[in-house]
Amino acid sequence: MRIVVRHRTVYNYDHAIRYSTQYLRLTPRNNPSQRVIRWNVEGQGRLSPWTDGFGNLCHTLVCDEIVNQISVSANGIVETTELNGVLPDDGILPIKVFLRPTQLTQIDSEIRDFVVPYVETARSNPLDAAHELSQALTERIVYTEGSSHVHSTASDALKNGRGVCQDMAHVFIACARELGMPARYVSGYLYTGDEATPQVASHAWAAVWIEGLGWVSFDLANKTCGTERHIGLAVGLDYASSAPLRGVREGGSESERMDVQVMVTQA
Amino acid sequence: MQRRLFDEMTSPDGSARPAYRHISDWLKWSTLDRLRQRSTEAEVLFRRLGITFIVYGDDGGTERLIPFDVIPRVFSADEWKRLSDGSIQRVRALNMFLHDLYHDRNVMRAGIIPEDVILANAQYQPQMQGFTVPGGIYTHIAGIDIVRVSENEFYVLEDNLRSPSGVAYMLENRQVMMRLFPELFSEMRIAPVDHYPDVLLRTLRGVAPGGAQDPTVVLLTPGAYNSAYYEHAFLADEMGIELVEGADLFVADNAVFMRTTEGPRRVDVIYRRIDDDFIDPLAFRHDSSLGVPGLLSVYRSGRVTIANAMGTGVADDKSIYPYVPALVRFYLGEEPLLANVPTYLLREKDDLAYTLEHLDELVVKEVHGSGGYGMLVGPASTAAQIEIFRHKILANPSNYIAQPTLALSTCPTLVEQGIAPRHVDLRPYVLSGEETVVMPGGLTRVALVEGSLVVNSSQGGGTKDTWILEE
């Protein structure tokens, strides 16, 4: 399937900012399920490309002019192949790195209690356990826009029973790791089929490592595994290490308004 | 199993060992009053220099002077050669280990260290994967803590590979000693240490990104509230480089710049004294205001060198320590010149059982602890203290290691009762750049309380000047 992505982020500030730096993880990599036909990242300021420790294709965007607005855009075309959400490992990092807890995926007693029913299955049939876990979590956590923020943790989402795709991925990752299954965060895009309404955010899901099979994607927010409608942008231990945009600025006071528009269409 | 304590000055027959002959005579001819007077003068000098140490959790004035003992510690040239060769060997192997860890991981494939031990370590830094640092040097400045138990037995207690502190004491102790006892320096041939800042600067310039002519080096400090701030300011001053905080640096055009009154100036090498977690808020802790946003990207692009490298902490963790002799053999194909203290890993069932039965003989430490906190010194503890610690261990065995209580060597020390033997350790500093060198000296720490084996300055330890005799 050939998918066209137009992703634009605009930051507006009431007071002018003097300097801002951002890490952009806005460039998809080629892998067996996706091939980049054309891709272009632009931003206000100067872009320097680099590759992070996870192998993600990143840019550093520095804007040192006095501005009230900064915009970043990523546009391109990706050819995807239906692999039922299964990808081989890229061989960059040891897979067991993806067992380590992070601040956003900290294990607490609630998570520990929640995974108890899956401990047995996780040992005998990890893939089944992952499916059961995914099912249980989609029942437990209701997709609710605006119910969380970028620093919300897995534990917050499980307690509140509400969250967005990022939170659902975090809870799934925390639970999988607690069950001894390496799990990683994937940020990306989803072709929903609705070509008329722009999406207000990029997408995110989780992938769990199943020995002998590969990284199996679970998109809890859409109650599905990975499909040819998914395009991966970056992988990491959690949102913090794979966020499409992460920045700091000087000036601009407290108020920042971020407008995101993601158009995902079929070519 | 009462072992005779090894005193570095006096042999069991009462005679002075060769390296100490001169000092022994000098002590005989010096009156206690005169030594005490010199000691007071030393304190005045240190106060004037402003060299203080911040003790965390101390209710009183948190800044205080570390006690200084005016009787120097002496090593012969032969003794020193062994310590310095052994330290260099260890640091070379650890640098190769770090390179391997963040590249092909041959050490794990060969089964030398279990993968879990490394990957579970919070100091293992995935962001260092696949990136080659200049010269393959990760730990440019290392401090190797060494203890002695007999004439020929030295043990490495721990490796400090992140940002070892204390070198300012080595330098200032020497300056003070030269002022107090100039006659000793003319009578004895003592290797100088005062060129340390020059060697450090040369080391740092030597690892600048390729092509940098006349590289600019800065020292990045977390600021005046850090316990080692004095040392940061002192070293920057001695090297003649800028002492900067995160806010003084910024990233642009894939390079790091320093704000100066004449405009931005490109920075090639950052001698950082802040932890990995705080060094780049875009990559690590987002709430850190101490670091430089964007630094990781410039670093990974090979356009700035950070010393010590990010992610070195994984190699000096107490859980990795037991494997260091094996690392020396694996990477260098050599036998280690300096031994490790035998170590029981309490995550192993047999080691745990043995330790629980011998708590009164062993030293038990937290795997990630430092500064002498959170440890049990069995022979110096009451039965009640041991029981409390037993529960702590049982609650989380893998958080602890245990070692036999070493009979640390003693050195003559000026205390209230007169001159008496007190236990000491040693931290030599190893600098790695285009070449690897050890300063002929180091920081000797001394446990001032009679019988105490805890030399940490946060726990009542003092320091001594360390003299290496030239041949």
Domain chopping of chain B, boundaries: 18-194+316-338+407-468, 210-303, 342-404
CB contact under 8 A, A21 and B251: yes
For B273-298, letters b (16+ CB in 10 Å) and e give: bbbbbbbbbbbbbeebebbbbbbbbb
How large a percentage of chain A has pLDDT more than 70?
99
CB contact under 8 A, B297 and A96: no
CB contact under 8 A, B254 and A100: no
**B289-314: average pLDDT:** 97
| pLDDT confidence band for A148 (50 / 70 / 90) | confident
Confidence (pLDDT) at B361: 92
pLDDT digits (tens, 9 = 90+) for A175-203: 999 999 999 999 999 999 988 888 888 99
Confidence (pLDDT) at B373: 67
Confidence (pLDDT) at B47: 85
CB contact under 8 A, B253 and A52: no
The answer as to CATH 2.60.40.2250 being correct for domain A2-81+245-266 is yes
Residue in chain A nearest B298 by alpha carbon: A50
Dmax over CA atoms of chain A, in Å, equals 59
Burial classification of residue A144, based on how many CB atoms lie within 10 Å of its CB (0-12 exposed, 13-18 middle, 19 or more buried): middle
Confidence (pLDDT) at B1: 39
Confidence (pLDDT) at B370: 59
CB contact under 8 A, A21 and B124: no
Residue B334: CB atoms within 10 A of its CB come to: 11
Tell me which DSSP letter residue B187 carries. Answer: H
Per CB-CB distance under 8 Å, the chain A contacts of B129 are: 53-54, 92-93
Per CB-CB distance under 8 Å, the chain B contacts of A247 are: 282, 293
CA nearest to A24, candidates A37, A4, A9, A35: A9
pLDDT digits (tens, 9 = 90+) for B348-374: 899 999 999 999 999 998 887 655 667
In DSSP terms, which residues pair with A35 in a beta bridge? A79
Per CB-CB distance under 8 Å, the chain A contacts of B128 are: 53
**B391-407: average pLDDT:** 91
Is B119 near chain A, with CB under 8 Å?
yes
CA of B278 vs chain A CAs: smallest distance (Å): 14
The mean pLDDT of chain B is 92
Per CB-CB distance under 8 Å, the chain A contacts of B254 are: 48, 50, 60
Per CB-CB distance under 8 Å, the chain A contacts of B301 are: 48, 50
CA of B127 vs chain A CAs: smallest distance (Å): 4
Per CB-CB distance under 8 Å, the chain B contacts of A46 are: 252-253
| pLDDT confidence band for B55 (50 / 70 / 90) | low
Residue in chain B nearest A47 by alpha carbon: B253
Residue in chain B nearest A19 by alpha carbon: B250
CA of A46 vs chain B CAs: smallest distance (Å): 7
Pull the structure tokens for residue B295: 């630094």
Confidence (pLDDT) at B2: 46
Domain B210-303 fold: Rossmann fold (3.40.50)
CA of B346 vs chain A CAs: smallest distance (Å): 21
Per CB-CB distance under 8 Å, the chain A contacts of B108 are: 94
Confidence (pLDDT) at B437: 96
Is B397 near chain A, with CB under 8 Å?
no
CA of A90 vs chain B CAs: smallest distance (Å): 13
CB contact under 8 A, A100 and B120: yes
Confidence (pLDDT) at A21: 96
CB contact under 8 A, A96 and B254: no
pLDDT digits (tens, 9 = 90+) for B435-448: 999 999 999 999 99
Q: What are the φ and ψ backbone dihedral angles of B7, each rounded to 5 degrees?
A: -100, 130
**B41-62: average pLDDT:** 69
Is residue A109 a contact partner of residue A241, using CB atoms and an 8 Å limit?
A: no
Confidence (pLDDT) at B52: 63
Q: What are the φ and ψ backbone dihedral angles of B389, each rounded to 5 degrees?
A: -70, -35
Average the pLDDT over each of A204-208, B377-381, B400-404 and give the range with the smallest value: B377-381
Confidence (pLDDT) at B58: 46
> Which residue in B120, B126, B254 is closest to A53 by CB distance?
B126
pLDDT digits (tens, 9 = 90+) for B167-206: 999 999 999 999 999 999 999 999 999 999 999 999 999 9
Residue in chain A nearest B296 by alpha carbon: A52
CA nearest to A175, candidates A144, A153, A194, A200: A153
> Which residue in A54, A58, A240 is closest to B126 by CB distance?
A54
CA nearest to B276, candidates B379, B152, B470, B128: B128
Confidence (pLDDT) at B57: 47
Is B253 near chain A, with CB under 8 Å?
yes
Q: Is residue B218's pLDDT more than 50? A: yes
Pull the structure tokens for residue A20: 């801002």
How far does CA B427 lie from the centroid of its chain?
5
Element (H, E) at B300: helix B295-300
Touching A: B residues 212-251, CB under 8 Å: 250-251
Ranges A14-18, A240-244, B54-58, B208-212, most confident: A240-244
Q: What is the pTM of this model?
A: 0.93
Give the span between the Cα atoms of A163 and A205, in whole angstroms. 13
Residue in chain B nearest A100 by alpha carbon: B120
Domain chopping of chain A, boundaries: 2-81+245-266, 86-242
Instruction: State how far the alpha carbon of A229 is from the alpha carbons of A201, A222, A224, in Å.
Output: 16, 12, 11
Is residue B363 a contact partner of residue B405, using CB atoms and an 8 Å limit?
A: yes
> Residue B286: left (phi > 0), alpha (psi -120 to 50), or beta?
alpha
Beta-strand runs (E) in A28-56? 34-43, 46-51
Give the span between the Cα atoms of B138 and B141, in whole angstroms. 9
Is residue B155 a contact partner of residue B341, using CB atoms and an 8 Å limit?
A: yes
Confidence (pLDDT) at A249: 87
Residue in chain A nearest B256 by alpha carbon: A62
Pull the structure tokens for residue A263: 């158009």
Ranges of H-type helices in B102-148: 106-109, 115-119
> Residue A101: left (phi > 0), alpha (psi -120 to 50), or beta?
beta
Per CB-CB distance under 8 Å, the chain B contacts of A243 are: none
**A238-259: average pLDDT:** 87
Domain A86-242 fold: C8orf32 fold (3.10.620)
| pLDDT confidence band for B53 (50 / 70 / 90) | low
Confidence (pLDDT) at A35: 98
> Which residue in B119, B130, B254 is closest to A53 by CB distance?
B130
**B53-81: average pLDDT:** 78
Per CB-CB distance under 8 Å, the chain B contacts of A100 are: 119-120, 122
Per CB-CB distance under 8 Å, the chain A contacts of B296 are: 52
Is B101 near chain A, with CB under 8 Å?
no
Degrees to nearest 5, angle at CA A100 with A94 and A101 = 155
- CB-side neighbour CA atoms (13 Å) of B181: 22
Is residue B119 a contact partner of residue A99, using CB atoms and an 8 Å limit?
A: yes
Instruction: State how far the alpha carbon of A267 is from the alpha carbons of A19, A82, A83, in Å.
Output: 37, 16, 20
Pairing of strands B68-75, B461-468: parallel
Give the span between the Cα atoms of A109 and A126, in whole angstroms. 22
Give the span between the Cα atoms of B91 and B437, in whole angstroms. 10
Domain B342-404 fold: Dna Ligase; domain 1 (3.30.1490)
CB contact under 8 A, B282 and A64: no
Give the span between the Cα atoms of A252 and B3, in whole angstroms. 68
The mean pLDDT of chain A is 94
Q: What are the φ and ψ backbone dihedral angles of A13, each rounded to 5 degrees?
A: -125, 140
- CB contacts < 8 A, A to B, total 80
| pLDDT confidence band for B54 (50 / 70 / 90) | low
> Which residue in B129, B253, B282 is closest to A48 by CB distance?
B253
Ranges of H-type helices in B5-70: 21-29, 32-49
